[in-house]
Amino acid sequence: MYADTSAISVFINKSQTELTLYFLKIFLAPGQLTGIDIWINPHYKIIINQACNGMIPILFLWASILAYPSNIRYKIFWMAIGYIIFTFVNVFRILLVVHFV
C-alpha cells in the first residue's frame, strides 16, 4: 500500500489519511494540525502519511476475516466493525504520541 503503483492504492491511502486527519482535528488544539503535520512544539512535528494512516493493519484484519469460513454477510459486517474500531484506535494511538511525547 505504500507504493504508488496503482490509482486504487493512491486513492485508498489518501482517503484513509484524510479520514485520520479529520478525526485528529477534532481532538487537537487549534493550529496544531497544519496539512498533514501535527506540531507538538515549534521544533518537533509528526507527519501523518501512508505509514501512519492505519491501512495496513486494516487490510490484515480484512484478509483474516475473508479467510475465515463463514457467510459473506457476517464477513462484511465484521469487516465494517473492524474498520471502524481500527480507525479509532489509530487516531487514539496518534493522540497518545502527540500528548505524551
Q: What is the pLDDT along the chain (101 residues), one digit of tens a residue?
A: 466 778 888 899 999 999 999 999 999 999 999 999 999 988 999 998 888 899 999 999 999 999 999 999 999 999 999 999 999 999 999 999 998 87
CB 86 within 8 A of CB 59: no
Sole residue written with cell 475473508: 66
Separation CA 32–CA 6 (nearest Å): 32
CB 101 within 8 A of CB 40: yes
